[in-house]
């Protein structure tokens, strides 16, 4: 089965047709700005409570919780590298996508949505982040036969176009 890989503009906290959404987390798995703020706000305070025993996590790591008030079954929390600080940053960013996909596969989840991990507060240049994200997902999907759909959700139209163009350049 070939997994469908798509790039869309949107809000990661509003993906009701997706089994698991990925959080651009902090090490303590607390709420924050950007993606973490949007997901924790929509999920409610139970999400932080569920995260507490799983923290702290290291760059590249992924952990899974229930999704509470979100319209999804689960949330996978990934700590991306801080650009220019956590090295080797491309490998750590790739680890996030690989670990998240393998975790979703182990939990029998058929669809997963990612934001552009590390490309906000953590400062990863978007074009480089897109290349690492898309190549890693393409390389990992053959080992995840249960995953039928992978969606990248980008907050603004320019970022969505960049991801789509990068995806087409890899084909
Ligand atoms: N839906 C989709 N994408 C979004 C959304 C949203 N609702 N909000 C922001 N983005 P960031 P990071 C985009 O900063 O760089 C947090 O405060 C955003 O434009 O959320 O991994 C945590 O607590 C950018 O392109 O994640 C951590 O401390 C991308 O998502 C830290 O920031 C990622 O931006 C994590 O930083």
Question: How many helices (H) and strands (E) in the chain?
Answer: 5, 6
Which pLDDT value is given to residue 85? 97
The CATH number given to 4-170 is 3.40.220.10
pLDDT in tens, 2-52: 579 999 999 999 999 999 999 999 999 999 999 999 999 999 999 999 999
* Structure letter (DSSP) for residue 124: -
Residue 56: CB within 6 Å of ligand 1? no
Q: Rounded mean pLDDT of the chain?
A: 97
Alpha-helix runs per DSSP H in the chain = 34-43, 45-51, 89-106, 126-140, 157-170
Which pLDDT value is given to residue 171? 73
Average pLDDT over residues 83-96: 98
Residue 26: CB within 6 Å of ligand 1? yes
* pLDDT above 90 coverage of the chain, percent: 98
Q: Could you tell me the distance, in angstroms and rounded to a whole number, from the CA of residue 1 to the centre of ligand 1?
A: 31
Cβ neighbours, 10 Å, residue 161: 13
Q: What is the ipTM of this complex?
A: 0.99
């Amino acid at each position: 089965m070939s997994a469908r890989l798509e790039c869309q503009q949107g809000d990661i906290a509003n993906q009701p047709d997706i089994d698991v959404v990925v959080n651009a987390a902090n090490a303590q798995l607390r709420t924050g700005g950007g993606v973490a703020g949007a997901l924790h706000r929509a999920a409610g305070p139970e999400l932080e409570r569920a995260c507490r025993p799983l923290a702290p996590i290291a760059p590249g790591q992924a952990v899974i919780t229930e999704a509470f008030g979100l319209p999804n079954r689960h949330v996978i929390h990934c700590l991306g590298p801080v650009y220019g600080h956590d090295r080797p940053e491309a490998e750590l960013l790739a680890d996030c996508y690989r670990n998240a996909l393998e975790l979703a596969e182990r939990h029998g989840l058929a669809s997963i949505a990612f934001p552009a991990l590390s490309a906000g507060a953590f400062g990863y240049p978007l074009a480089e982040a897109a290349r690492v994200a898309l190549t890693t997902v393409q390389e990992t999907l053959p080992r995840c036969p249960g995953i039928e759909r992978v969606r990248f959700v980008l907050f603004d139209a320019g970022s969505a176009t960049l991801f789509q163009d990068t995806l087409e350049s890899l084909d």
